[in-house]
Structure 1
């Protein structure tokens, strides 16, 4: 069994011993909550028929990863910016990944990685001045990626491909794309196909190596009205 083939149910089963131990320390332990939230959204994407409702699938996948990487700024009382948070998270995943789960996934999905890096519409540089010349320039990353694979520069490969998935995510979230648009079907198909095994890889690493880690301030921990009233009167 590999990270690519593991279901949410199997990931939860693997996490269960850690969940019980952490719950004994705190009923809403942040590491447990993050894992639970991530699995709930990955399951949502898992339940969507393959090839249908790709916009919702991509959003569900990103939210799943966001549940793992999100950080709370205690001074400003708001979430830390997305870009820094997910880039730091990817670096941390690679450092924890002693079994090279992410590397294996990037190798197994190399054709998808290359296709995403080749797509000019997923490049922020293309959109600065959309034209054929910019499209050719944006594809420069594809040629660089071949060298990154040869050199084993996995951090750069992972960063660049997730950056393009994030770019598409931002287009959708900020209303810069039509729902179920035919114009971005190819791009969103590629991104969802790659993002799925990547997130499963992250959850597997979390279950294997992340239980003792301090994952930082969690955004919006679970609360109930009863707890809120109790805290206000304490």
Structure 2
């Protein structure tokens, strides 16, 4: 039976928090930690109405709390790349999304913003690796063209999970620019990327968290840094 919300907007952070409080006793510990931590950052981001740089960072932390695996995965011991982790997470959520909320967000509400981000070289990691002198990335333009072909295949096939993994690969570069001091606060240089990235995260993260709470039987891995005595 679907959860009954007290407000008309079931994805508002406060409604999601109320749902989490009602359900948490029946949720497994890994899922409880993921959802509790993610919602804490999502609710804080909701209060950050004007500062898009700060809001993007808060939303990214909330996303990271939701999707990240265990400490072994975080330290790279299993050799998985970040995009592989994204793709696995998105495939799981798309499979759970019976009402096609993620699909509608990707294909109906934000198609133009997503295309712009995916075609933007300034959030394409190989572009920066080349400009930072890392050997093996002089062909970044060929790599970007290959990525565009991959994007076009995902678009043609309406492959939502693959498209999201490619999109979040770009958002991860933007996250690195902000968190590691690779940009100026409120800079006009990357304003379009920050604006679109913030809008996308702000709409997608509540859906992700809601789907996670609706699927407690899934084997959610223990989050990074679990609570220990």
1:58-207 correspondence runs (5 A)? 58-73=56-71, 79-81=74-76, 83=82, 84-107=84-107, 108-129=109-130, 138=144, 141=147, 145-207=151-213
State the alpha-carbon separation in 2 of the partners of residues 145 and 218 from structure 1: 30
State the alpha-carbon separation in 2 of the partners of residues 42 and 53 from structure 1: 15
Q: Which has the larger radius of gyration?
A: 1
2:134 is matched with none
2:35 is matched with 35
State the alpha-carbon separation in 2 of the partners of residues 193 and 142 from structure 1: 22
Are the counterparts in 2 of residues 120 and 139 from structure 1 also a CA contact under 8 Å? Answer: no
1:45 is matched with 45
Q: Name which of 15, 21, 30 aligns with 1:16.
A: 21
2:135 is matched with none
Alignment length (residue pairs): 209
Aligned-residue RMSD, C-alpha = 2.8
Are the counterparts in 2 of residues 118 and 139 from structure 1 also a CA contact under 8 Å? Answer: no
The CA deviation at 1:134 is: 6.1
State the alpha-carbon separation in 2 of the partners of residues 93 and 9 from structure 1: 21
Structure 1: segments with no counterpart, 5+ residues: 229-234
Are the counterparts in 2 of residues 70 and 80 from structure 1 also a CA contact under 8 Å? Answer: no
1:206-217 correspondence runs (5 A)? 206-209=212-215, 211-217=216-222
CA offsets per residue over residues 3-50 of structure 1, 9 Å max, x none? x9721111123333321323xx8xxx231121111011011111111x
Structure 2: segments with no counterpart, 5+ residues: 132-138
